[in-house]
């Protein structure tokens, strides 16, 4: 069993291949009983010409159909019947770990606007760096021309045979490097795990790598895909079902059913780069907004304190002017009237009034 093609769910089996088999049975009107391949292999021919795995069971008549991600190859086509491909795949490099970066920003509130701009451009630069770093290895030419990142593929796989038998100089160098470094893995899971640990690029089927990327959000796949091939359903040689299965597969493809199944079983919970690689992440700005809020709060408190102090001072000055004005308006006319009447005895009263005025003003100002 292999996720997401065939998986166990309690006593039942589910997955892409199970759904595909159900749709084909509906179209062609046949019933089926599923059993898992005994040796757990897809099918490889040994030196004596015998096949193991699913191909071997079909060749020996132990199964009427083999539904799995079986790559259509010339060697297999000679031994069994293979339908039109229900899925296209190829060879790609990856996954390769993404770079993760963060920013912790602190500043005073009065520099908020300046720091906000600086943080914006810093996050933009970091985002571009994170997005562009996986593209260091855009394809197999880049992989062959560097020796920093280790790489490998599944031991004994058709992917390894592709590089081994290729006449392309870059592909040959890749094979020789893997053979020299013995950088092979025994399973897809092992290859993905090594890539997650870092400094390792796993080479494999593009659809398998797409699944790994969907399941592990920190991984990406290189854009280049080479050696295009297809996954087919296997029948015995000369089976009357072969033609009908091929037609049914084409009909499902034209109706969009195969695309739907691909989307269903390769669904990802990862956030797209366009969404999470925004110019400025909110969580990275919590600190600066907190500082801004604190600064504004302190500023408001200081403003209130200054306003209160100024109000008290102004009120005191107004009270002093009122008292002084009241006294002047009440005493001075009496002095003027006495003086107008020419009373010589009023000179002492005038002096007393002036002394009293002086004392009152000074005493109030002292308060």
Tell me: pLDDT of 243 over 50. yes
For residue 358, pLDDT over 80 is answered with no
pLDDT (mean) for 47-54: 93
Domain locations in the chain? 7-281, 286-366
Could you say which architecture CATH assigns to the domain 7-281?
3-Layer(aba) Sandwich (3.40)
Q: What are the CA-CA distances from residue 174 to residues 40, 90, 157, 204 (Å)?
A: 29, 16, 15, 13
pLDDT at 175 over 80: yes
Residue among 79, 20, 86, 21 nearest 236 (CA): 79
What was the pLDDT predicted at 151?
A: 95
* Model pLDDT, residue 338: 47
Q: Tell which phi-psi region holds residue 55, choosing left (phi > 0), alpha (psi between -120 and 50) or beta.
A: alpha
pLDDT band at 105 (very low <50, low <70, confident <90, very high): very low
Name residue 7's beta-bridge partners.
Answer: 14
pTM higher than 0.75: no
- Encode pLDDT of 270-316 as tens digits: 876 555 544 445 555 566 667 667 867 787 787 787 778 777 777 66
């Amino acid at each position: 069993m292999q996720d997401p093609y065939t998986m166990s769910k309690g006593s039942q089996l589910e997955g892409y291949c199970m759904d595909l088999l159900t749709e084909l049975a509906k179209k062609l009107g046949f019933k089926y009983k599923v059993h898992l391949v005994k040796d757990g292999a897809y099918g490889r021919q040994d030196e004596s010409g015998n096949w193991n795995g699913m191909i071997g069971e079909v060749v020996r008549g132990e199964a009427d159909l083999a539904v799995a991600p079986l790559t259509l190859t010339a060697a297999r086509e000679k031994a069994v019947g293979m339908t039109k491909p229900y899925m296209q795949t190829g060879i790609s490099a990856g996954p390769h770990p993404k770079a993760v970066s963060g920013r912790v920003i602190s500043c005073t509130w009065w520099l908020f606007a300046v720091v906000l701009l600086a943080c914006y451009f810093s996050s933009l630069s970091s985002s571009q760096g994170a997005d562009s770093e996986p593209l260091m290895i855009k394809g197999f030419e880049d992989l062959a021309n560097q020796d920093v990142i280790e790489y490998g593929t599944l031991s004994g796989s058709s992917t390894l045979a592709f590089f081994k038998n290729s006449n392309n100089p870059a592909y040959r160098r890749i094979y020789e490097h893997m053979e020299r470094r013995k950088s092979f893995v025994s399973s897809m899971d092992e290859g993905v795990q090594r890539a997650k640990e870092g400094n390792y690029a796993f080479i494999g089927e593009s659809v398998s790598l797409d699944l790994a990327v969907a399941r592990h959000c920190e991984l990406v796949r290189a854009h280049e895909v080479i050696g295009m091939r297809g996954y087919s359903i296997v029948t015995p040689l000369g089976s009357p079902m072969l033609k009908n299965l091929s037609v049914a597969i084409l009909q499902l493809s034209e109706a969009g059913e195969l695309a739907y199944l691909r989307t269903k079983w390769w669904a990802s919970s990862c956030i797209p780069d366009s969404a999470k690689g925004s110019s400025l992440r909110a969580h990275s700005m919590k600190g600066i907004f907190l500082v801004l809020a604190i600064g504004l709060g302190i500023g408001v408190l200081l403003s209130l304190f200054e306003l209160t102090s100024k109000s008290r001072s102004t009120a005191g000055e107004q009270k002093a002017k009122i008292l002084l004005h009241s006294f002047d308006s009440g005493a001075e006319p009496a002095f003027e009237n006495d003086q107008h009447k020419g009373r010589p005895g009023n000179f002492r009263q005038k002096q007393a009034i002036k002394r009293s005025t002086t004392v009152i003003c000074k005493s109030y100002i002292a308060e």
